[in-house]
Amino acid sequence: MSIGSVVDLVKTYAKQETVDPLKNAGRFLGFGAIGAVLLGIGLSLLALGLLRLIQTELDNLARGGWSFVPYLVVLAVCVAVIILAVSRIKKPTLTKERD
């Protein structure tokens, strides 16, 4: 085995163990960040739409002393969506687990 092949082997191993996992982690985080922003925008618009729907269709809840009820309903729906989303998180690490 020559010195050149050992150097190439070490370079290949270093790339395999450092650069490739960092690229995969960057891709994982990038897609996660984009997905989080888009979900946040979408869910915010849905929550606002639900609030306006409740305020429009249930006029007696949107007036007087009960005007806070539509906000509580939307808050409860948002909390339920957050709980559902957190309960669906399953992948704790970035690395692929091999059986």
Percent of the chain with pLDDT over 90: 33
**Does residue 21 have a pLDDT over 90?**
no
Q: Would residue 24 be called left, alpha or beta, if left means φ above 0 and alpha means ψ between -120 and 50 degrees?
A: alpha
Contact in structure between 62 and 54 (CB atoms under 8 Å): yes
Mean pLDDT of 2-29: 83
pLDDT, residue 13, reads 84
Q: Check residue 23 and report its DSSP letter.
A: H
